[in-house]
Amino acid sequence: MKTKEYALCVLVKLYRKKLNLSQSELAKDICVPSYLSKIENGEVEPNSQIIRLLLEKMGVQFYDESQFSEEETEILSDYFKYIFYFRHMEIDGVFERIKAKKKKYLNSVRFLDYLLIEWHYFIFTRKRFKRQLEIQELLETVVLLMSDYEKAIFYFLKAISENTSDRSGFLKQAIETRNNGYYSFLYATTLIADRNFLQSIQHIDKAERLFIDEGNFRGLIYSKYYRGIIYYLLKDYENSEHHFNGIINLLDFSNTEDDFIMGFRYFALRYIAYIAQTLNQSDNMIRICKLIIREQEEKYNKVYTTSPYLILSDYYFHSANFSEAEYYLNEAKLRHDSILTTSRDYEIELYQLYMFRLHNENYLKSRDYEKILMNLKKLVFCRECVHFKELVYELLKEFYVANKRYKDAYLIAEKLA
């Protein structure tokens, strides 16, 4: 296992190449060139005094560990804890605090930590794609000098980057290098997306055990939620409903004050409503949707999801009760700005699709409807919303059949099989 000090070897090599210096030129009066070569290749434990002299010769102000406060050190490890503990919505502030010390981190033993964090932040925010590639290419050259912790993060970032060629393969490498609940969970969701449900259950099991060991309550709820989704996709509605009810009971028992995680109570209820709708249990479906609406607004005074309005609108649309369908769509629209969770964009796009459908009798022949549907598909697939893909597939199949695009409809039907 490499120590953090090996990051300094990378720092020396990068600055030397940037300044177009030979090893002999840089090593002169400091060490022999062969020793510098070993330093750059990670073949020797770097001597901090020699490293400092080499960097100073290149005009680099070097910061050693003693020049970092406890807060400056801890915030680097805290950044990925926010990710692994599903606190993604809080990383903006953390990143800005880290970025304010960018020069200091980049000229220190914390060099690799900073680059991994910057790479993740740009992936997560979908910003500066060119910079993402630069960081990735740079880190590719020094991966063997990383600690196992850094190497696992590196493979995780390769898995989630926009230009990835093998998401599941890189996640497996992260798991094999240094596993945690988050990596196992992501690997399970990849298997779900590939409709490899039986293996995904095995990895959900592993993720749950790791989340419990880590004290990661958000992770535990996420993994239980996706277990319910797997059984839903398998059309094992009895088991699916059992697991969703288990989440509701666990959240009620926990008395959690975590607003974000309380949203899963309503996501679970939403799926129970979907199950009732699928089984033509209309009265039960309506009861559950109205329960979600009532609890969100009367008990918690928050909007975790507008899905119950969308489900009810869809039900009344297919029952030819168009005034009631429009009423629930308008109610959903009133709450768009108040949605607390990451399903907001998807729900707004679905609202637009349903509203267009309601006001255009020949919607299935409309290019505008197809455009909205393609936007919805792109949004769902880019966000890896595996739990919304089934509905999108159904809408696509309906559109393709109506337009006699039977080959496309057949391919979609295969995905639903």
Residues 164-194 pLDDT 10s: 778 899 999 999 999 999 999 999 988 987 8
Average predicted confidence (pLDDT) for the chain: 87
Tokens coding 143: 């991966």
Nearest CA-CA partner of 124 in 98, 97, 86, 151: 86
50-to-4, 19, 60 alpha-carbon distances in Å = 16, 19, 13
- The contacts of residue 257 (CB under 8 Å, 6+ apart) are none
Six token digits for residue 363 = 């919607």
Confidence of residue 7 (pLDDT cuts 50, 70, 90): low
Contact 354, 313 (CB under 8 A): yes
82-96 pLDDT, tens digit per residue, is: 999 999 888 999 999
Confidence check: pLDDT of 49 > 50? yes
| pTM, entire model | 0.82
From the CB of residue 350, how many other CB atoms can be counted at a distance below 10 Å?
Answer: 25
Whether the CB-CB separation of 98 and 76 falls below 8 Å is answered with: yes
Q: Count the neighbouring beta carbons within 10 Å of the beta carbon of residue 282.
A: 12
How far is Cα 160 from Cα 183, in angstroms, rounded to an integer? Answer: 11
Q: What is the pLDDT of residues 314-337, one digit of tens each?
A: 999 999 999 999 999 999 999 988
The predicted structure's pLDDT at residue 1: 41
Work out the end-to-end distance of the chain between its first and last CA atoms, rounded to an integer number of angstroms. Answer: 46
Domains and CATH numbers, the chain: 6-62 (1.10.260.40), 67-172 (no CATH)
Is pLDDT at 393 greater than 60 in this prediction?
yes
d(CA 397, CA 391): 10
Please, what is the angle between helix 386-402 and helix 406-416, to 10°? 150
pLDDT at 343: 77
**8 A C-beta contact, residue 369 and residue 349:** no
- Residue 400 CA to residue 166 CA, distance in Å, equals 30
H or E segment and range at residue 87: none
Q: Which residue type does 257 have?
A: E
